[in-house]
Amino acid sequence: MNSEKKPTRAEVEAAVKTIIRWTGDDPSRDGLQETPSRVAKALEEYFRGYDQDPEAILQKTFEEIEGYDEMIVLRGIRFESHCEHHMAPIIGHAWVGYIPDGRVVGISKLARVVDAYAKRLQIQEKMTAQIANTIQDVLKPQGVAVVIKAEHHCMTTRGVLKPGTDMVTSRMLGAFRDNPLTRQEFLAIVTEDSKTS
């Protein structure tokens, strides 16, 4: 993480005014007077993941699971992120699965981990690995699988202009990497679910 002092809200708003002027518009006109403040507030929301600790999110677990050791999959977790190259939106869904080893975590925590990483400047490959690695490191399950399918506005609304194109990434650890049948079962769940997402 950068050790430089974080800019103030006023500095961010001044930067937005500069950008408005750079586009050719007047930040003092009626419709734009409150835009710098609104943009600063939106940026706080878009990038709130920097203030969240994904490992801490997974700390509360449950061990009274009657020996349950089959796959757990949370399907179609919608997320919104921003690419670190153009700050353009990345909008997609994540499928997160794991095979517990004596303890489980509340399902909302899996969605929160996705959100904590999504709400940062990202590339999809890194985000996929971060989610899987964090679940593996904290829960120590028999295996973790993450698939992300997302549309990148840096290529659908600018640049190469290919709307309707999405990217799929995956990270398989433990049993999902080592056992082809386990991997196949997870990917079948993803494929079935992604047809309706």
The residue ranges of every structural domain in the chain are 9-46, 61-194
Q: State residue 2's pLDDT score.
A: 63
Q: How many CB atoms lie within 10 A of CB 192?
A: 10
Concerning whether 152 is annotated as a catalytic residue, the answer is yes
Measured in residues, the chain has a length of: 197
Q: State residue 1's pLDDT score.
A: 56
Q: How many CB atoms lie within 10 A of CB 69?
A: 13
Q: Report whether 180 contacts 135 (CB < 8 A).
A: no
What is the average per-residue pLDDT within 42-64?
A: 96
Q: State residue 172's pLDDT score.
A: 98
Architecture of the domain defined by 61-194: 2-Layer Sandwich (3.30)
Strand-pairing partners, residue 83, are: 122
- pTM confidence score: 0.93
Give the C-alpha separation, 177 to 171, whole Å. 9
- 31-45, 49-63, 86-100, 149-163: the lowest-pLDDT one: 149-163
Concerning whether 85 is annotated as a catalytic residue, the answer is yes
**Catalytic site residue from 55, 84, 125, 192:** 84
| Residue-wise pLDDT tens digits, 76-104 | 999 999 999 999 999 999 999 999 999 99
In whole angstroms, how far apart are CA 147 and each of 68, 77, 157?
Answer: 23, 10, 24
**Catalytic site residue from 80, 86, 136, 151:** 86
**Catalytic site residue from 122, 124, 130, 142:** 124
